[in-house]
């Protein structure tokens, strides 16, 4: 049942600090990410969750080679992974993934275009495809997979993203990246800045999307609000960072835990 999508192979992340001689965050940590399973990564602050994600996404230098894609023996780096799989990212602060100069719909449209960019990655096709109002309206119709996204966006298509609340933006981010086919969705504490009501709304929106799409999710969270939401009806795994390794967390006993 569990088919691995990628596996993390002996990843070591270390920083050189002026005070401490060398801070090792992860020491040859290995784990497997299964297809169509939600992975929750837990750990206290400073245990290296964000560093791990940034290295996985290729945002951090040095660009380490530690990922093995299923069925392939060579190790690749985060940046190469982004070229092979359709990776999408939702940061903790929703504004980090939105451009201040563009309206909310242009932002969401851009993100969906970028994820599917390798499907038509040629310059001329890109140049021909003008994001006219018609295009954006067509895209807006695809966004309505989440009932809440539809509610939020009603009559506000051209507003700047700063006029939306954090919870609304996270749900819109989720709707945008899920409007196209994504292989791996990485979320770095997507509900970190939200209150309890919005947290549950966010996880419920995720569950709503997972009913129609097969996506592998990798997310960090401090909270247990996801356990109260509908996400638990979907196969999930709990991982935690313990003693500089990524290990399976057996403290929860969900029926759908893989």
Cα–Cα distance list, 124 to 41, 83, 115, 119, 138 (Å): 41, 20, 18, 13, 21
CA distance 241 to 233: 24
31-39, 110-118, 193-201, 243-251 -> range binding another protein (CB under 8 A): 110-118
From the list 35, 43, 59, 249, which residue makes contact with another protein (rule: CB under 8 A)? 59
Size of the site for another protein (CB under 8 A): 38
Q: Peptide bond preceding 62: is omega within 30 degrees of 0, i.e. cis? A: yes
130 interacts with another protein by CB under 8 A:
yes
From the list 14, 51, 103, 229, which residue makes contact with another protein (rule: CB under 8 A)? 103
88 interacts with another protein by CB under 8 A:
yes
117 interacts with another protein by CB under 8 A:
yes
Sequence-distant contacts of 84-87: CB under 8 A, at least 24 apart = 85/5, 85/6, 85/183, 85/184, 86/115, 86/116, 86/118, 86/180, 86/181, 86/182, 86/183, 86/184, 87/57, 87/182, 87/183, 87/184, 87/185, 87/186
CA distance 130 to 196: 40
Q: How far is the CB of 235 from another protein (least distance, A)?
A: 25
100 interacts with another protein by CB under 8 A:
yes
Closer to another protein by CB, 5 or 238: give it. Answer: 5
2-10, 19-27, 101-109, 201-209 -> range binding another protein (CB under 8 A): 101-109
Residues in region 154-193 near another protein by CB under 8 A: 158-160
Binding site for another protein (CB under 8 A): 57-59, 79, 82-83, 87-89, 96-104, 106, 109-111, 113-115, 117-118, 123, 126-132, 158-160
């Amino acid at each position: 049942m569990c088919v691995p999508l990628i596996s993390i192979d002996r990843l070591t992340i270390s920083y050189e600090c002026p005070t401490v001689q060398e801070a090792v965050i992860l020491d040859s940590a290995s784990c497997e990410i299964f297809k169509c399973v939600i992975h929750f990564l837990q750990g206290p602050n400073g245990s290296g969750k964000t560093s791990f994600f940034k290295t996985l996404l290729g945002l951090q230098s040095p660009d380490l080679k530690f990922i093995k894609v299923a069925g392939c023996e060579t190790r690749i780096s985060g940046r190469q992974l982004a070229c092979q799989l359709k990776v999408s990212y939702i940061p903790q602060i929703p504004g980090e993934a939105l451009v201040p100069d563009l309206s909310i719909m242009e932002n969401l449209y851009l993100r969906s275009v970028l994820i599917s960019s390798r499907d038509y990655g040629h310059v001329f096709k890109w140049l021909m495809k003008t994001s006219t109002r018609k295009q954006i309206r067509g895209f807006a119709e695809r966004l309505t997979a989440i009932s809440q996204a539809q509610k939020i966006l009603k009559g506000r298509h051209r507003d700047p993203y700063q006029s939306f609340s954090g919870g609304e933006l996270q749900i819109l981010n989720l709707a945008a990246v899920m409007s196209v086919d994504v292989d791996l969705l990485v979320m770095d504490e997507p509900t970190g800045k939200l209150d309890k009501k919005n947290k549950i709304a966010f996880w419920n929106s995720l569950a709503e999307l997972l009913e129609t799409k097969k996506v592998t999710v990798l997310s960090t969270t401090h909270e247990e609000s996801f356990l109260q939401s509908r996400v638990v009806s979907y196969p999930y795994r709990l991982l935690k960072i313990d003693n500089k390794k990524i290990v399976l967390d057996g403290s929860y006993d969900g029926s759908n835990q893989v």
